Structures are given as structure tokens and as C-alpha cells.
Chains A and B, each alone.
Chain A
């Protein structure tokens, strides 16, 4: 495994490659679990006699698997790829990287076993037992040491914006994770709920968002072979994200039993999120100016730019449904489920997959096995994703209207969702097929890496 960046450093990429492969395996498994629980909404008795296959135990398996098994692991792998390259040095320690990977794999397997057994702390995204929380913290510290040590000995003094996002997200994650998984043990009731939503919201906003954007900032100019439009704009985006995001957690409890003023604060800051979002999207689009023709046959760019559009849509939706009037309709419905999936599965997974399609062959010193398979996976993802998100928005919105008319029996609003859930399941199937194609492509690329050496740079 080697790539030459002329005159700079020879990258081994063992940790980067390992993380991406482990992430893809968990992607596949979590995707399968996702399909099963989506099918259970049509056939509640499916696998129904077995306690560890019940909806309530598979759902946390699905969310934790997707968030920590797939997306965070993939992001970590891509960080191990791009941070050394942006610093002009090798990764500080491949051994430490591989040890981190071993620990991470153990954590996810531990999560599968404990969650299936019904060992659940009862807090969303913080379901894992304390001993696993401790291991996650250890793994994160190991990851942080490796990245920070690489940055500390960098050859290029100025730090490209991707490094900013990645370093900051490592620091923020540490705090966010501690609040969500340790501080919650010392609180109860509304106080605990507030910490829980702080964590849930910032897990997406201050872990996956900055990591995903850092990845986007690196791979979009790289894959399109064009310079970033504006460094200054990226700084505005960064600092406004750093300041604004953290205030918004309480918007998960609008109209709920939590102080009115805190709800209002959360709404105000949710609306302000438009600033970092627009500055980023503007920057990415301006970077692509004159390069849009590449969308035709550059698969990484297809994923990265579609991810950008999903990011824009998610982050437009977020402030909208934080407004009290809209929230009264869509809160607790499938609209929110559609929103969450577009953020994690649409925006940030698209960034990660785009990055992976670009980076994996380069790590192996080869070319991707099949561009057309990769292209097919893109279309499966796009069509599957859109039908998934849009059906849940429409269904969720209409269901919310029905809930607000108390003369409609609740069960009628459940039956009403069946066709929307059906389209969602179909969309999920398409996306799952996309994962399979991705996985197959990577596998064949790996096996045939010697026969297809990278064209000379």
C-alpha cells in the first residue's frame, strides 16, 4: 500500500484503509437492520417471537451502527488519509492508528451484543453501557493524539480549512460526548433531557457536520482539480458554526415541558444557522464554477455535490421546523425522521462515499475497478434517498395535520402512513443495493490492485 506524493512523503495509509473497510462492513450490517425495522412497520409480527429481534432493540442497533459503526469510522478513515497529505508529512503513527481501529471494532461489536440483549441506558444515541462509553472515550483520545501529533509536525505552516474543521470537531466531540454519556448520569427529569438533546443535536452538528465539511473542503477541490473559491468565506463559515450550533439543542422539546425562554433561545440560534450553511454552500458552488461539466462522469464529484445540496436542504429544513407554528405540525412525526436521514444518510454519507471513491484506489496505488458500477451506485443512492426523504416529509406533514385534528382517531393516522412507509422501504432497498455495489467495487479493486497500477502522475 503506497502512494507517492512527489518529494513530500510516502503515505502508508494502513489505518485509513482499515477504517474505511470496517466502516463499510458496518454500513452493510446496519443497512440490513434498517430494512428489517422498516419492514416491521408493515408487518409488526415479523421475527416477532424473539426478544432480541424486536423493533425496540433493533432500532438502537440501527442508529448506533449507522452513526458510530459506519459514518464516524468512515470519517476517521478519511481523516487519516487527508490530514497527513494536508500537512505534508506521514501519519504520526500507523501502529496507533491500527490499535485505534482494533478498539473501535471491539466497541461496535460490543454494542451489537449489549443492545440486542436489551442493555440500554434509555437515552437516545447514548444507549451504550458505561464501560463502552469509557472505551469510546479512550479510542477518541487515541485518534486525537494521532491527528494532533501529525498536525504539530506539519511542513506547511498555514492550515487549510479542512484541518480546522477536523481539529475543532475532535475537541468539540470530546465535550459533547462527555456531556451526553457521563454528565447525564448525575441528572434526571427535564435537566437530563436538556443535556440529552444537547448531545443528540451536537452529535450531528458538532461531530458529523464539521468532519463531513472538512472532508468536503478537501475532496471537492481535489476531485475536481480546481482551487477552493474563497478561504475567507470558509473562515466565516467555520467561526459562525463554532458559535451558533451549540445553542440549539432545546429545539427538540418545543411545546414540551421545558422553559419557554430556553425554547426561544434555541429557535433564534436555529435560524442563525443559515449563516454558516450559506457561506459553505456558496463556497462549494463557486468552487465548481466552470467545472460543472465534470458532474457528467466524475463519480466522487457527483456524490460530493449532491451531498452539498442535501446539506443545504437539511439545513434549510432545520430552522424552518424550529419555528413554533411549523413545529406544532411536524414535531414527533416522520417528517423529522426524513430530516435526520437526509442529514446523516444524504449529506454526510454522500460526502464520505464521495471521499472514499476518490481515496480508496489512491491508497492502494491503483484505479477503481469499475466507474460504471460506481455510477450505478450513485443513481441508486440518489433515487433511493430522494424517494425515502420526500415520502417521509409528505407523509409526516400530513400526519401532523391529522394529529392536530383531535376528532381523527389515532389509529387512523397510523394506517394512513402505510403507503408512505412503503415508498420509504423501497427507497431503503435501492440504497442498500447501492451499498452492495460500493462494497463489491472496493473488494474487486483491492483484489486486482496489482494488475491495475495507478497511471503515472
Chain B
């Protein structure tokens, strides 16, 4: 058998593709069918795309901010997932309160997903409400003025464009809101 495959390119190609697709199908198509939580939105999750289409101005801003986040490659330096690791829940948390871990139902409408792979900067999955608008504005203009030693680049072309600045701040403040967890002090209010 192996000898035959050795000599026939057609048999060989068929074998290689079949072998590949066993794992290929079981790891791509099967999981969303087996785990419903991937597609079921969390109770507090807002579907900004539908809201924006319905004329919701705030939702439109959030989506515009998200597009800026994608465009400027913020996601190469920031993740958006509080993992099932204790330190993650403390770092994403607020003072003594730990943040809940991220679950699939919080990301159902994310397109493209922004989970990220690399943390040059801190995780942003629960950053909504952590700082006030003023902080973000100053931070985008010059991160080092607020956090000495930061390696985040300044974004003058965003900071100097009021519409873009409002949008990216609105997006930051929307992050991690599907779970109502931030206690007492919320800088957005």
C-alpha cells in the first residue's frame, strides 16, 4: 500500500488531504456545533452593529472607535481576555475586587475578534470605566506623560481629530461591560 502511494501522485494527494481533513473538520466545524456557548450572547451584551443601524449615535461611535483600534494595530500590543489565571483577574480587577474571567458569550458580536496574542501593554478586556475621559485623551496624546516608561506610541493624528478621539474613548469605555461587575466607582459616569 505505502509502496503504491509512493509511486502514484494521485493516491498520494488523496491520502494527504484526507489525513489533514480529519483534524481539519473536527477542530473547525465541530466545536461551534458542540459548544453552544460560543454563539449565545451574554444577557448584558450589546449588539452595537444592530443598534448602530437603528440610528443609535453612541453605538455608532463605539463601532467607529473599534475600527480605529483595528486600523492602528492596538491589538498587536493589547489582549482582550481575562484568562482563568488568578493574576489576570486581579490585574483586570478594580482595587480589591477581582474581575470575572472572560467567557465566550461576551464576544459573540466581535468581528473581527480582538482577543490578541501579545501583551506589550496591559490587557484591556475590563478597561471600560477604569479611567475617565480626560485620562484617555491625555494618554493618547502622550502616554509617557501619564505613565513614565511606557512604550505605547503617541497618537497625535487621533488626539487632534475630535471625532476620532471621541470614538476611540467611547470604545475603550465599552470594553468588558457585558458582565456588570465594576463596583461603586465607575469613571465613565
Residues of A within 8 A of B (CB): 40-42, 44-45, 48-49, 51, 54-57, 59-60, 118-124, 148, 151-152, 157-159, 164, 167-168, 171-172, 175, 179, 183-184, 187-196, 198, 206, 235, 239, 242-247, 249-250, 252-253, 255-259, 262, 265-266, 269, 328, 331-333, 336-337, 403-406, 410-411, 414-415
Which parts of B121-153 form the interface with A (CB within 8 Å)?
Answer: 121-122, 143-144, 147-153
Question: A189, B28: Cβ atoms under 8 Å?
Answer: no
Chain B residues lying within 8 Å of A406, measured Cβ to Cβ, are: 86-87, 90-91
Question: A411, B85: Cβ atoms under 8 Å?
Answer: no
Contact A122:B114 (CB < 8 A) given known A55-B153, A57-B73: yes
Question: B23, A269: Cβ atoms under 8 Å?
Answer: yes
- CA A194 to CA B103, docked complex, whole Å: 14
Which parts of B90-110 form the interface with A (CB within 8 Å)?
Answer: 90-91, 101-104, 106-110
- CA A179 to CA B72, docked complex, whole Å: 25
Chain B residues lying within 8 Å of A337, measured Cβ to Cβ, are: 118
Give which listed residue, A189, A256, A265, contacts B38 with CB less than 8 A.
Answer: A189
Contact A54:B113 (CB < 8 A) given known A250-B27, A259-B35: no
Chain B residues lying within 8 Å of A45, measured Cβ to Cβ, are: 153-154
The answer to whether the Cβ of B12 comes within 8 Å of any Cβ in the partner chain is yes
Question: A190, B2: Cβ atoms under 8 Å?
Answer: no
The answer to whether the Cβ of B44 comes within 8 Å of any Cβ in the partner chain is no
- CA A332 to CA B88, docked complex, whole Å: 12
Question: B22, A243: Cβ atoms under 8 Å?
Answer: yes
Chain B residues lying within 8 Å of A247, measured Cβ to Cβ, are: 23, 26-27
| Residue in A closest to B101 when the chains form the complex, CB atoms | A257
Give which listed residue, A190, A192, A235, A258, contacts B112 with CB less than 8 A.
Answer: A192
Among B13-21, B52-60, B166-174, B180-188, the stretch in contact with A? B13-21
Chain A residues lying within 8 Å of B22, measured Cβ to Cβ, are: 243
Question: B71, A403: Cβ atoms under 8 Å?
Answer: no
Chain B residues lying within 8 Å of A168, measured Cβ to Cβ, are: 12-13, 16, 20
Interface residues on B, range: 35 or more
- CB<8 Å pairs between A and B, sample of 14: A44-B151, A44-B153, A55-B153, A56-B77, A158-B6, A158-B7, A190-B113, A192-B110, A206-B20, A256-B102, A259-B31, A259-B104, A265-B27, A403-B119
A230 to chain B, nearest CB (A): 14
Question: A332, B110: Cβ atoms under 8 Å?
Answer: no
Contact A403:B110 (CB < 8 A) given known A57-B72, A243-B22, A246-B20: no
Contact A246:B87 (CB < 8 A) given known A44-B151, A167-B16, A188-B110: no
Give which listed residue, B73, B87, B153, B156, contacts A60 with CB less than 8 A.
Answer: B73
| Residue in B closest to A54 when the chains form the complex, CB atoms | B153
B65 to chain A, nearest CB (A): 13
| Residue in B closest to A210 when the chains form the complex, CB atoms | B16
B155 to chain A, nearest CB (A): 7
